[in-house]
Amino acid sequence: MSEKLPLVDVEKVLREKAHMKRPSKLLVWFLKKIIHQDQINTFLINHPSLKGLDFLEEGLKYLQVKIEVDGIENVDKSKRYVFASNHPLGGLDGMSMGYYLGKQFDGKIKFPANDLLMNLTPLHSLFMPINKHGGLGKKSTEIFNATFESDCQILIYPAGFCSRWKKGEICDIDWKKTFVTKAIQYQRDIVPVYFNARNSTFFYILALIRKALGIKVNIEMLFLADEMFKQKNNTFKATIGKPIAWQELDKSKTSFEWAQYIKGEVYNLKK
């Protein structure tokens, strides 16, 4: 059964996605190392039948990661929500918070995944596929809308990218407005969530250097798997705020302005 698993294969990705007929051995070795290909594949092979929340639970146990959450009493478990969170880690925050909310709402949780994460087939039941950079193609849009129309809870990261270092603090870039327009369209209250975590200093410095050099490709994203493994044995803390009724999201602000307002409410929870 394990032979049928879609394992991580850096060399194959370079050949098929980057159109490198003969990728250098040094490059393949380096990428395999920073994405922890062998460790990830060993985990997949050792847990061939796990899916959904069970897969997340075992993954968090493997990393010896725990999460403590305050404020769950702020939500009515009979309602449908959009949980809008900051995105400090770029992966493990989604795994942790997705698992917690999934347990709170009987497995009815969905959160976005880009084309890279969609390769993790055991988590397909929890994913809303989006194109890289947060864009929505036709098929993704249909699934996105169907998810908002469903009775599942939605955990979303409106920044689209994980947090960066800016003016001495770690915070998200401007939030995209889509979650606001969809919350209004499908009459879902928005719940602000603050996830207290950060990546390594190396990650943020690399991002700053890349930007200073005018390099548009987010090369620091290659290190997100490595950043995840650096979080082993960690306990994260998250805070759930009070819901913002969709009716409040009126025309006194544009959808973009409401998105930044809710982002502010999220960071207020940090206090």
Give pLDDT, residue 16.
Answer: 80
Residues 29 and 116 in one domain: no
- Quote the number of domains for the chain: 2
What residues does 189 pair with on adjacent strands?
81
Q: In this predicted model, what pLDDT tens digit does every residue of 85-122 receive, in sequence order?
A: 999 998 899 999 999 999 999 999 999 887 667 767 88
Who's near 241: CB < 8 A, 6+ residues apart?
71, 74, 191, 192, 193, 194, 265, 266, 268, 269
* Counts for the chain of helices (H) and strands (E), in that order: 10, 9
Which residue reads 């290190």 in tokens? 223
Residues 56 and 154 in one domain: yes
Distance CA 218, CA 14 (A): 17
Residues 9 and 133 in one domain: no
What residues does 111 pair with on adjacent strands?
127
Residues 179 and 113 in one domain: yes
- Ramachandran angles phi, psi of 159, nearest 5°: -70, -30
Residues 263 and 230 in one domain: yes
Higher-confidence residue of 221 and 248: namely: 248
Q: Does the pLDDT value for residue 201 go beyond 50?
A: yes
E-strand spans in the chain?
66-70, 81-85, 109-113, 127-129, 153-156, 164-166, 169-171, 189-196, 235-240
Q: In this predicted model, what pLDDT tens digit does every residue of 34-90 receive, in sequence order?
A: 999 999 999 999 998 999 999 999 999 999 999 999 999 999 999 999 999 999 998
Who's near 167: CB < 8 A, 6+ residues apart?
none
Residues 124 and 233 in one domain: yes
Q: Model's pTM, two decimal places?
A: 0.91
Residues 15 and 57 in one domain: no
Give pLDDT, residue 181.
Answer: 97
What residues does 244 pair with on adjacent strands?
190
Residue 131 tokens read as: 């194109």
Distance CA 178, CA 114 (A): 16
Residues 123 and 44 in one domain: no
Report which DSSP code applies to 117. Answer: G
Residues 198 and 119 in one domain: yes
Q: Which domain holds residue 18?
A: 1-49
Residues 129 and 191 in one domain: yes
- Ramachandran angles phi, psi of 234, nearest 5°: -100, 155
How confident is residue 137, by pLDDT bands cut at 50, 70 and 90?
low
Residues 136 and 252 in one domain: yes
